[in-house]
A and B are shown apart, each in its own frame.
Chain A
Amino acid sequence: MAVLSKREIDERRKLPVSEAESLVITPILGEDVFDEESVDLRLGTYFLMPQIPPQPFIDPNSPKAVGQSYLRLHTPLGSYFVLPAHQTVLGATLEYIKLPFDVSGQILTKSSVARMFMVIETAPWIHPLYRGCLTLEIANVSNTAIALYPGTPIGQLVLLHAGISEPPKQLSGSYVGPVYPEAPALRHPGQALRKIGLDKYRHPFYGWIDEKKMQDQITGAMAQLNPAEQNKVKAVIRILQDNGALPVDNPATALFPK
């Protein structure tokens, strides 16, 4: 995978946005952001600060709880955000980028930032065709608090030829358009584990769950009931769910979608 040079980057930027090979980086606030083989990216103004989650830990079973585990903050340009020692925050680049179909990217911490023991990315790979501001997993691994100034350079974008010859017909929705830092989109572990042949997984609150077995049991039990009785069961489950007695992420409730 060869790194794109400044000349190649410029050639891509000269292409209309409708062409699959085109590259967009905006806003470019000065030509000095371009190095021979990289582009400096600045820190944006929005942050997601981890906070004590509603549950004792972040549980992929509970996507709602994941969203509640962050505090959204805005630090306008000119102001600063203090990241305490050994703390993390999600930020985003000020620049919105559109990668060509045949180019991947990698975002690296600027060396001047890294030497303050700040890390801005733990998932640095950017897929071809990505478009959006990049979410940065910023960690202050130093022993002192550090002030972050939105608008200042924080990372370097390196672009690489991906060796893809044909652009896809459509874009994947998950790669299109974030402007703010994004909380993780966690997926239900049961689905992922089933794909590798595991029927059971251990839920932090409910113990071992065999979704298929449970589904079969519930379906079998429901089959014994007449439609009116089935509706009564569903109504009871909804009452429990609406009153918080049955958490919405309980796999049993997934069998009776609202």
Chain B
Amino acid sequence: MAGLPEQVRHDAASLYQFVCSIVDLCESRNPAAAYLSSSERFFDYLVELGRATKDYVRQFPGGRTQPAEYLDLRDEIAVLRAGWQFLHALVRPALESDTLHLPSALLQGLITRFREIPKYAKTDFTIFHTDEFNYLTVRLNVFKRNADRIAGLVHGPTFPDQLGLIGIPYSQSSSLFMNCLIPHEMGHYVFADAGLGAKFRPAIEQQLVNNLGSQLSPLDRIAVTDALTKWSEELFCDLFAVRLVGFSYSLAFVELFDTSKALDENGKLSPARSLGMAEFDEYPPDLFRVKQQAAVLVKDKWWPELVRVDSHYVNLLQAAEQMKDADFGFPVSSQVDPGKILESFLTVVPQVFSELDAVTVGLKSGFDAWNKTNTDVETYLEHGVVPSSLLEKKGQLNFVHPDLVGLLNSSYKFYVESLDRLISHIKDADANDVGTRSVWAGKVQTWTAKAIEDVSLLEGKGIA
């Protein structure tokens, strides 16, 4: 058997090779592909951390002479390898997420909108693909802790400040409407950054003590507190998303989860059809989430306009908004009173709303701007025209450029309510044909994405 120094050298070389393989991928990424600046930032960070790791392990075993020192180095190698294995999981999905495979215009628009919150004026998000049909956020505290453990050992760069990591389903790269769910993931970033879990948790625990006393064992109390804190996070992220992009988030939510299946033939909530949709489980139930979103829509002035939209999605929102706390359940098989657990959570809900107000101070509601341009944006879409320069008044060469929130909400409204109007202008297009509807819904999204891109250019130039 080789001596300890040789063994350490061998293991270091193996790790070196592994890190090289990741760094090479990041450095020699497809030159034909373009990436958002936030992705470039992520790759640059990985390259720097990789170089630092390589420089560090290249010296192994260095001047060590004692067996205990060699064994320590082995431990370090194991820690570094585990750390890089953790980072490894994100490299390929991020590399595949070039600007051709992401809704780039929308993402840049959403990041710009997010940065309107003064505290997050410099925050960025790296977007990567996920195999699951789900939107997700990488838990930054876990990711950062792991990455910074590597950095601490190799004297490399720490994980960039104000950089979030969001995964989107790979199949949704060209979808505009479904990607209105991304702001929910941005909400997770805010939730962690603002330490809201640490704020909600004691309040939830106190409510559990007040409502259930000794019915919950200490261990059960911890488990239930964890679950309720998670609910509060999901709820916060929903509310944050609505505050950021208006009702387009709620419509995307209803679409993704097919929540409208809960409606009967008259557009009313059907107890039979909504079975299970009002019960808390790992997440708050869809109908509860929609009800709370409606509360933000009311507060931010969207609601009176939204309820006039002729769509089953909106019927669902209205039906959920009318639900009472007593309509929701919490199925548990233990002897603990589930109603009391739910009550404990509901007591904290107002705090979620007040924290939302606190973290979004300085963010203008998009409602007023949307209200000014909505009719025109819809008219442009109806006539198959990208709605980036709206004629302000007939006979004058003045144009208005709708903002991101205005474009998203008008476009989504048009899609759920008025797609037939567009199709009626097209020769031989049958509005009753699913394939035809899909084609024109796709075009509406493409035109809206183009408008978002155009407006960012027009605003940069300040030219009509």
Those of B66-112 within 8 Å (CB) of chain A: 98-100, 104
Picked from A16, A74, A170, the residue with its CB within 8 Å of the CB of B98 is A74
Q: How far is the CA of A133 from the CA of B394 in the complex (A)?
A: 24
Q: Are A27 and B457 in contact (CB under 8 A)?
A: yes
CB distance from A92 to the nearest CB of B (A): 11
Q: Does B336 contact A (CB under 8 A)?
A: no
Q: Are B450 and A179 in contact (CB under 8 A)?
A: yes
Q: Does A210 contact B (CB under 8 A)?
A: no
Q: How far is the CA of A30 from the CA of B461 in the complex (A)?
A: 8
Q: Which of chain B's residues have a CB closer than 8 A to the CB of A171? A: 384, 425-427
Known contacts: A17-B379, A17-B383, A171-B426. The answer to whether A28 contacts B464 by CB under 8 A is: yes
Q: Are B379 and A14 in contact (CB under 8 A)?
A: no
Q: How far is the CA of A173 from the CA of B395 in the complex (A)?
A: 29
| CB nearest to B390 among chain A residues | A17
Known contacts: A24-B385, A27-B457, A30-B461. The answer to whether A17 contacts B380 by CB under 8 A is: yes
Q: Which of chain A's residues have a CB closer than 8 A to the CB of B360? A: none
Q: Are B99 and A74 in contact (CB under 8 A)?
A: yes
Q: Does A76 contact B (CB under 8 A)?
A: yes
Known contacts: A27-B458, A131-B384. The answer to whether A16 contacts B394 by CB under 8 A is: yes
Q: Does B179 contact A (CB under 8 A)?
A: no
Q: Is the interface of A mostly helix, strand, loop or mixed?
A: loop
Q: Are B426 and A96 in contact (CB under 8 A)?
A: no
Q: Does A234 contact B (CB under 8 A)?
A: no
Picked from A24, A79, A173, the residue with its CB within 8 Å of the CB of B389 is A24
Q: Does A8 contact B (CB under 8 A)?
A: no
Q: Are B34 and A75 in contact (CB under 8 A)?
A: yes
Q: Does A18 contact B (CB under 8 A)?
A: yes
| CB nearest to A129 among chain B residues | B384
Q: Which of chain B's residues have a CB closer than 8 A to the CB of A18? A: 379, 382-383
**Residues of A within 8 Å of B, CB-based: how many?**
35
Q: Are A173 and B427 in contact (CB under 8 A)?
A: yes
Known contacts: A98-B383, A173-B427, A177-B446. The answer to whether A26 contacts B394 by CB under 8 A is: no
Q: Which of chain B's residues have a CB closer than 8 A to the CB of A79? A: 34
Q: Which of chain B's residues have a CB closer than 8 A to the CB of A133? A: 450
Q: Which of chain A's residues have a CB closer than 8 A to the CB of B391? A: 13-17
Q: Which of chain A's residues have a CB closer than 8 A to the CB of B450? A: 96, 133, 179
Q: Which of chain A's residues have a CB closer than 8 A to the CB of B33? A: 74
Q: How far is the CA of A13 from the CA of B454 in the complex (A)?
A: 17
Q: How far is the CA of A52 from the CA of B426 in the complex (A)?
A: 36
| CB nearest to A19 among chain B residues | B394
Q: Are A27 and B447 in contact (CB under 8 A)?
A: no
Those of B29-49 within 8 Å (CB) of chain A: 32-34
Q: Does A72 contact B (CB under 8 A)?
A: yes
Known contacts: A170-B425, A171-B425, A173-B426. The answer to whether A73 contacts B100 by CB under 8 A is: yes
Those of A135-163 within 8 Å (CB) of chain B: none
Q: Which of chain B's residues have a CB closer than 8 A to the CB of A30? A: 461, 463
Q: Are A177 and B443 in contact (CB under 8 A)?
A: yes
Q: How far is the CA of A176 from the CA of B463 in the complex (A)?
A: 27
Q: Which of chain A's residues have a CB closer than 8 A to the CB of B457? A: 27, 29, 77
Picked from B379, B386, B396, B424, the residue with its CB within 8 Å of the CB of A26 is B386
Q: How far is the CA of A256 from the CA of B359 in the complex (A)?
A: 61
Q: Are A72 and B100 in contact (CB under 8 A)?
A: yes
Q: Does B410 contact A (CB under 8 A)?
A: no
Picked from A17, A28, A77, A98, the residue with its CB within 8 Å of the CB of B463 is A28
Q: Which of chain B's residues have a CB closer than 8 A to the CB of A14? A: 391, 394-397
Q: Which of chain A's residues have a CB closer than 8 A to the CB of B461? A: 29-30
Q: Are B446 and A27 in contact (CB under 8 A)?
A: no
Known contacts: A16-B394, A17-B379, A171-B426. The answer to whether A179 contacts B463 by CB under 8 A is: no
Question: What 1/0 mask marks residues of chain A from 4 to 44 whose CB sits below 8 Å from any chain B CB?
Answer: 00000010011111100000101111110000000000000
Q: Are B443 and A10 in contact (CB under 8 A)?
A: no
Q: How far is the CA of A79 from the CA of B34 in the complex (A)?
A: 9
Q: Are A74 and B463 in contact (CB under 8 A)?
A: no
| CB nearest to A133 among chain B residues | B450
Q: Are B426 and A26 in contact (CB under 8 A)?
A: no
Q: Which of chain A's residues have a CB closer than 8 A to the CB of B383? A: 17-18, 98, 131
Which B positions have Cβ atoms within 8 angstroms of A? 32-34, 98-100, 104, 379-380, 382-386, 388-389, 391, 394-397, 399, 424-429, 443, 446-447, 449-450, 454-455, 457-458, 461, 463-464
Q: Write 9 A-B pairs (CB below 8 A) sorted by A numbering.
A: A15-B394, A18-B383, A29-B457, A77-B457, A96-B454, A171-B426, A172-B426, A172-B427, A176-B384
3 closest A-B pairs by CB: A26-B389, A170-B427, A27-B454
Besides the known contacts A27-B457, A131-B383, A179-B450, 9 further A-B residue pairs in the complex with CB atoms under 8 A apart: A10-B397, A14-B397, A16-B379, A17-B385, A26-B389, A30-B463, A72-B100, A74-B99, A179-B386
